[in-house]
Amino acid sequence: MTQTVQPTNPEAPTTPDATTPGGSANAVETSSSRERIPAALKRRVPKYSDLAPLMQFKKPEFSREAKLRRASTIWELRDIAKRRTPRAPFDYTDGAAEAEITLRRAREAFLDIEFRPGILRNVSSIDLSTDILGKSSRLPVGIAPTGFTRMMQSEGEYAGSQAAEAAGIPYTLSTMGTASIEDVAEAAPNGRNWFQLYLWTDRDRSLELIDRAAKAGNDTLMVTVDTAVAGARLRDVRNGMTIPPALTLKTVLDASYRPAWWFNFLTHEPLTFASLSRYTGTVADLINSMFDPTLTFEDLDWLRETWKGKLVVKGIQTVEDARRVVDHGADGVILSNHGGRQLDRAPIPFHLLPEVSAAFKADNSDAAIILDTGIMSGADIIAALALGADFTLIGRAYLYGLMAGGRAGVDRAIQILEKDMTRTMALLGVTKLSELTPDHVRILGK
């Protein structure tokens, strides 16, 4: 029988053998026996005094206010809105034209950028205020015009205008709004109110709206020019969207999961439009009956002569048209494809922005460049400002807040965007909007 002898390391130190007096020369200390365990890592039974600071259980909160507080992004507000709102009005807000390619591309455009921050700057104080169309705004974002807003949530335009007033930013009432010009002005008497105009085939009706807007204190008229006809908003077609929502078997079943929306809708004043007293029919029929497909630049000249305040043109999608409307007297342009709700595969405003900015600089034009479509975060806003926008507008982003929680939800949407902007500015190493330049943003793939 062969006995295996383990080799020994002649350089290894020896220790006395515990089994024989004086030890043995063959006793070797292994590396494992030499390891030392720090006292902090030795197992022990935890003491209550150690656990007490960690045991901070909070009572669960399920209120609307608590849910709004927990929302950290506009996307999270959208999730709440979808749970609280019937499909037809939610899809009217959330959807776009045809295959909704334009809307997806508009949002992706903001994702496909790279910020280029500066370091070692003192960013302890961030100033987000700016001047737009002759007056100051506490934030570089305002609320865009949205139609049928009280159909999304019963507080509608009142919530939007009052939240804008509290935030120190402009609010724009749509011709298709569901509150009158006068009522909105009364609800937010200290706010900066703008009015968005669709030029009707009936010019006398348009003149009446212009006069009412001026008398109510609106300082800016925003004329929308990308609605010669209604876009193919297929979600609305599939949902049988009507104004007001029809009580069909389908909508009643949908309402059973969202009783609060229907309770608010049925127990508040019926929808009152900014531009007409009542209407019953589909959205597309209303648009096609009101909008004028014969509009030309001569009509813009007529508007410039008629309106004495600031005039901006919404729906600009080419550099050439941006220049032309300024030549015809516009004080500003709004780069917008109507949130992707008109022409699918339309130009993306964020991509068009650097070209328009360069063209205006070449022309020595001081016309304002405002951008909407696709904005879902404060970082999106900062990117737009860096690439040449003077101001931005939000539509869906604020409506998600409205549907999620009425006035409180709109407040929360604005708070989220402000926090995003402040953080993004600090991380870029700038303290005021005038310090932003195109060097802070690179569009990937270009």
Q: Please, which pLDDT band fits residue 426 given cuts at 50, 70 and 90? A: very high
User: What does the mean pLDDT of the chain come to?
Assistant: 87
Integer Cα distance of 245 and 153 in angstroms: 12
Give the SS3 label for residue 224: strand
- Domain assignment present for 368: yes
Lowest average pLDDT, out of 204-213, 257-266, 360-369, goes to 257-266
Most confident of 42-51, 191-200, 220-229, 311-320: 311-320
Integer Cα distance of 386 and 140 in angstroms: 12
pLDDT score recorded for residue 249: 67
- Domain assignment present for 388: yes
Distances (CA, A) of 13 to 7, 25, 26, 32: 15, 10, 10, 14
Residue with the bigger pLDDT between 165 and 59: it is 165
Query: What are the φ/ψ torsions at residue 28 (nearest 5 degrees)?
Result: -120, 135
Integer Cα distance of 179 and 173 in angstroms: 8
Give the SS3 label for residue 308: coil
Integer Cα distance of 413 and 397 in angstroms: 7
Q: Please, which pLDDT band fits residue 173 given cuts at 50, 70 and 90? A: very high
pLDDT score recorded for residue 15: 46
pLDDT score recorded for residue 234: 85
When pLDDT is averaged across residues 151-157 and rounded to a whole number, the result is 92
Please give the angle made by the CA atoms of 284, 290 and 291, to the nearest 5 degrees: 90
Helix ranges (H only) for 15-170 are: 31-34, 48-51, 64-70, 74-84, 87-94, 101-111, 149-152, 156-167
- Domain assignment present for 268: yes
> In sequence order, what E strands does 257-390 have?
281-282, 310-316, 332-335, 368-371
Integer Cα distance of 77 and 68 in angstroms: 7
- Domain assignment present for 112: yes
- Domain assignment present for 73: no
When pLDDT is averaged across residues 46-64 and rounded to a whole number, the result is 76
Q: Which domain holds residue 425?
A: 81-441
Give the SS3 label for residue 108: helix
- Domain assignment present for 67: no
* CATH code of the domain covering residue 353: 3.20.20.70
Decide if 440 is catalytic.
no
- The catalytic residue among 268, 328, 338, 351 is 338
Residue carrying structure tokens 């390391």: 9
Half-sphere exposure (CA, 13 Å, Cβ side) for 153? 26
Q: Which tokens go with 381?
A: 């806003």
- Domain assignment present for 134: yes
* pLDDT above 90: percentage of residues in the chain: 64
Task: Give me the number of domains the chain comprises.
Answer: 1
Q: Please, which pLDDT band fits residue 400 given cuts at 50, 70 and 90? A: very high
Distances (CA, A) of 161 to 140, 181, 289: 16, 11, 28
- Name which of 106, 75, 179 is nearest 412 in CA terms: 75
Distances (CA, A) of 114 to 91, 371, 381, 386: 31, 19, 14, 12
- Domain assignment present for 10: no
Helix ranges (H only) for 376-438 are: 378-386, 396-428
- pLDDT above 60 (res 241): yes
pLDDT score recorded for residue 10: 47
